[in-house]
Amino acid sequence: MTRRRPSRTADATPILPGPAAPTAGVAVGDEVAQAATRAAVAAGDIAPDPFDPQPLDPEAVTGTVEEQLATVTAALHRAKNTAAGSAKAARARLTVELGAALAIGLDRNLYKAGGYASVEAYAEGEVDLNRQYVNELIADSKRIRAVMAAGLSEFSDSPPLASHAKILAPILAQEDGPAKAQKVVTEAKSSGKKVTAAALAAAAKRLGFAATVSAPKASPGRLRRAAPR
């Protein structure tokens, strides 16, 4: 069962716990990072720990053949859904963190201290980020954080996709924005189908909250492999 996330502001910074005592052979910094990861996983803030899988116990598979099959099938779907949710959370976290860092580098012209001519060149040189998407990534980061801070029901258990945030963030900026955005989400969900950016855009248009909003086009991957040297 997915735990609901507590409400948080877009720029809230969690206090990360440290270890009670260093473990022999493990650097203190690693201890702190491990403790922080465990706390974040327990709070539902990041994807499940890949080093702590929950395999189905054969002893728990009992009953008739049909009941055993149902238990195994449920485990298959649970594993699949967990993976899908983890990938989505990882993408959103990557977008938020990259975009926020790049925004600071751009606002303060910090990239110049590294010998780069632009923030796009800096992003490409440091993390092999396609420079074509740097500005959009910065905007996506802000929009995702705005939607997460609004506490909309659709995204209470998982972060929004960048394409969803692109539709909803402008609505949130309007008067009574959170209420309007929630109505858009509810309207988009009313069909019973999966909520998509196109569905959100159509719902916003029907409700008259964002007549000019259109679903964003799919873009190619923003991170690319470094070219062979």
One pLDDT digit (tens) per residue for the chain, 229 residues: 444 443 333 333 333 333 344 444 444 445 554 555 455 545 544 556 777 788 889 999 999 999 999 999 988 888 888 887 788 888 898 999 999 999 999 999 999 999 999 999 999 999 999 999 999 999 999 999 999 999 998 887 778 999 999 999 999 999 999 999 999 999 999 988 889 999 999 999 999 996 444 445 444 445 554 443 3
pTM for this entry: 0.66
**pLDDT computed for residue 89 by the predictor:** 84
**pLDDT computed for residue 79 by the predictor:** 85
Residue among 209, 203, 196, 202 nearest 163 (CA): 196
What does the alpha-carbon distance between residue 38 and residue 18 come to, in Å, rounded to a whole number? 11
**pLDDT computed for residue 39 by the predictor:** 53
**pLDDT computed for residue 3 by the predictor:** 40
- The C-alpha angle 99, 102, 103, rounded to 5 degrees, equals 85
Residue among 180, 212, 218, 221 nearest 197 (CA): 218
**pLDDT computed for residue 34 by the predictor:** 52
Strand partners, 223: 129
Helices (H), the chain: 28-42, 65-107, 119-127, 134-150, 162-172, 177-189, 197-207
